[in-house]
Amino acid sequence: MPRAKVNGINIDYEICGSGEPVIMIQGLGGPRVGWTFQKRAFSWHYRVVLFDNRGVGRSDKPVERYTIKTMADDAIGLMDHLGIESAHVMGTSMGGMIAQELAINYPERVRKLVLVCTTAGMEDDSLMRLKHQKMLGLGDGTVEANLDNIDVKTMGRVMANITGLAFSKLSFRIFLVPVSKIYFRFSSIVEGILGQMKAVADYSTVDRLHLIKAPTLVIVGTGDRILPSESSDLLASRIPDARLVRIEGGSHSFFMEKRGEFNRVVLNFLRGS
């Protein structure tokens, strides 16, 4: 796959289809293969751009501190490299945070915005932070302090916990949880995902959502066990004229488990219906 030198690092990417560009941004620890069920469906209608965020997949995993803004700048750098002046942007979970940052800082580059099972941030929500400490199995204390002390073995357990919670269908959990335990044992992967986790922990757009100008679809599963659907309610209430769609029973990874319904809703939004 091709690589682009952007924002001081190498980003691994792929392009399929033709037409208006759609940039798809994966979540925490997720390589671009997570968009497998969207890649074919969307490429019939659009030029689909998939890439690995810094810290995961085949992209570089720098040691300096990550921020959501830095990762948004990576995406802009990739668009510049590809000669894309503006695109539809879709992000899931952490990718949705990156997408928000793109839409706020580079409004002229975003045609339509799709925010999938994401949040405006946990910076000012102590209950949310506590929930995620327990969910990750990190014990007491601040999220950042715990992340500073995490090791490779613990990371494997943490990511297995997250993977298990992200899916509601047993078939996905049976296959992906063991795979995640193996994948996240590699030290370079651990360092990259820790960088992403710290970026997420520091992030908030709560007071900037009104700056988003792009037509926006906020879509969430009602059965999400990682980010509550109320997070999407907040996004939709503060982004001007945003449309909110709830997928009944959808998990955090409903774009995979309920891909038919998800793809139909998003494609209709992008096409204007």
Query: What is the distance between the alpha carbons of residues 222 and 258, in angstroms, rounded to a whole number?
Result: 12
Cβ neighbours around 183 below 10 Å, total: 18
> Hey, what CATH topology would domain 3-124+204-271 get?
Rossmann fold (3.40.50)
Q: What is the pLDDT of residues 207-265, one digit of tens each?
A: 999 999 999 999 999 999 888 888 999 999 999 999 999 999 999 999 999 999 999 99
What pLDDT shows up at residue 126? 40
Query: What is the distance between the alpha carbons of residues 195 and 134, in angstroms, rounded to a whole number?
Result: 19
What pLDDT shows up at residue 183? 66
Query: What is the distance between the alpha carbons of residues 248 and 236, in angstroms, rounded to a whole number?
Result: 17
Average pLDDT over residues 192-213: 91
Q: What's this model's pTM, rounded to 2 decimal places?
A: 0.90
φ, ψ (nearest 5 deg) of residue 234: -65, -45
Q: Cβ contacts of residue 264 below 8 Å, gap of 6+?
A: none
Query: What is the distance between the alpha carbons of residues 82 and 42, in angstroms, rounded to a whole number?
Result: 19
Q: What is the pLDDT of residues 27-58, one digit of tens each?
A: 998 899 999 999 999 999 999 999 999 999 99
Q: How far is CA 23 from the centre of its chain?
A: 12
Domain ranges of the chain: 3-124+204-271
Band of residue 129 on the pLDDT scale cut at 50, 70, 90: very low
Which of the pair, 9 or 188, is modelled with greater confidence?
9
DSSP, residue by residue, 57-82? TTS---SSPP-HHHHHHHHHHHHHHH
Q: Is 51 helix (H, G, I), strand (E, B) or coil?
A: strand
